Amino acid sequence: MKTIVAITRQDVWQQALKAGQYTQSTVDSTLAEVGFIHCSFPDQTLEIANRRFINRDGLVLLLIDEDKVKPPIKHEGALSGRAGTFPHIYGPLNVDAVYATILLEKDKEGMFVEPDKIKESR
């Protein structure tokens, strides 16, 4: 199984479960606004969380089985020009492709800590 990860808010994920599909692109933007769902590979996730969302609480990681995702996934360069490629999902994510959700926790310095399940999915 190849794992990709989406960072989202707990309330957004709960809404997605009720609707049967996840349509958020990033924590602050929707699929309709951006055109794809931003994801990362497990080894990229913690750095992204600490760089982009450090001022947020109540975030969860969606661990996604890439082989179960119904819309097309493209591994593309970052729009910001950062090195490497990132998985982008071009359509609503079917919630049955998500095999685990993990609450992102912070250490005493306020930095996100990498969950063991992310380390295991590399």
Q: 13 lies in a domain?
A: yes
Q: 34 lies in a domain?
A: yes
Q: 12 lies in a domain?
A: yes
64: CB partners within 8 A, 6+ apart: 3, 4, 5, 6, 39, 93, 97, 98, 99
Query: Which CATH number is 26's domain given?
Result: 3.20.170.20
Domain count of the fold of the chain: 1
Q: 87 lies in a domain?
A: yes
Residue range(s) defining the domain that contains residue 83:
3-112
Helical segments of the chain, H only: 10-19, 31-34, 42-52, 116-120
Q: 53 lies in a domain?
A: yes
pLDDT tens digit sequence for 14-27: 999 999 999 999 99
Residue 1: what pLDDT? 82
Share of the chain above pLDDT 90, in %: 85
Q: 70 lies in a domain?
A: yes
